[in-house]
Amino acid sequence: MKLWSDSWTNGDRIPLRYAAGKPDGAGGASFSDNLNPHLAWSDLPAGTQSLVLICHDFDVPSQGDDVNQPGREVPADLARVDFFHWVLVDLPPHPASIGEGEFSRGFTAHGKPGPQVTVPSASPARHGLNDYTGWFAGNPQMAGQYYGYDGPFPPFNDSLVHHYVFTLYAVADARLPLEGTFTGHQVREKLAGRVLGEATFSGTYTLNQRLLDSGF
């Protein structure tokens, strides 16, 4: 089973247009184009009925005390947790690709609608909530249910470069047994015993100007 993209080379720096946040030129950050990347797959296992796609960042600070605070950095040795950027289930195996910008163009305050996808070729796929739902929960101007893809927007003062992993799972069921609103953690739980194969594609991203100046 293989997963690849024309958007960047596996493991390389993610271009700005696929991120939710970009440097603002003053040491902080602003919103970016937030396009979902192109993805394509092949060599699915026999018996594959549907696909599950998860994108997560495993470098997110477990505590927010220093996050986005000018004049200091988030320590590299701080414990890190997963942050889900895209949760997509019941994706048909064919056509064997997702087009650039097909699911996301721009960052939508209060979140994109869901769970049903609006891309005809992906029907009857469903979106789960990404973790911007929790991140913006206390912000009246941004709070809402964030379905679908919303790309990288790491703290602009994080001393770690963040890693973003797209994992495609081949599933033996046409429909994952989840109803209503669901999260990436819930999808991972339901995948137990249902996965026929998986493949990954990844990239890196930072908004830390010090790291950008060093070429990270």
CB burial class (10 A; 0-12, 13-18, 19+) of residue 79? exposed
Tell me the average pLDDT across 50-70: 95
Domain count, the chain: 1
Who's near 23: CB < 8 A, 6+ residues apart? 29, 30, 156, 207, 209, 212
Q: What is the per-residue pLDDT for 122?
A: 95
Q: Which residues are paired to 147 by β-bridges?
A: 112, 129
Amino acid at 122: A
In whole angstroms, give the CA distance from residue 116 to residue 4: 25
What whole-number percentage of the chain has pLDDT above 70?
100
Q: Is the pTM of this model over 0.85?
A: yes
pLDDT tens track for 103-145: 999 999 999 999 999 999 999 999 999 999 999 999 999 999 9
Give the domain extent around 76: 2-213
**Placement of tokens 């893809």 in the chain:** 149
Can you give the pLDDT at residue 27? 85
215 pLDDT more than 90: no
> Average model confidence (pLDDT) for the chain?
96
**pLDDT over 90 for what percent of the chain?**
95
Residue 216: pLDDT over 90: no
Alpha helices of 103-195 — where are they, by DSSP H? Answer: 132-135, 184-191
pLDDT tier at 76, thresholds 50, 70, 90 = very high
Predicted pLDDT of residue 104: 98
* Region 176-198 average pLDDT: 97
Give pLDDT, residue 92.
97
Q: What is the CATH number of the domain that holds 57?
A: 3.90.280.10
Q: Which two tokens stand for residue 91?
A: 């994706």
